Amino acid sequence: MGWNDHVDFIETECLQCGVVAVWEHWNEIAKARYGGELGRKLGHDVANSGKCPHCGSIEGEVVEED
């Protein structure tokens, strides 16, 4: 089981800044596992779950594939 087994990577358009990017959505298992010292050592920040990687907004819409 890898570190990203509990993380969904979803292409999302930020309603705040308009940037389309891949947002990380960490589930509760991943937040518990990587929310402390281990996450810092590995460079994972679970506080960014469900946030725009550009501006930090939590308001976004999933980009649907056509």
Count: domains in the chain: 1
- Whether 2 contacts 38, CB under 8 Å: no
Using 50, 70 and 90 to split pLDDT, how confident is the model at 61? very high
In percent, how much of the chain has pLDDT > 90? 55
Between the two ends of the chain, the Cα-to-Cα distance in Å is 32
Q: Which domain holds residue 41?
A: 3-62
Question: What digits encode the pLDDT tens for the residues 24-53?
Answer: 999 998 888 888 888 889 888 888 899 999
For tokens 């990203």, name the residue: 4
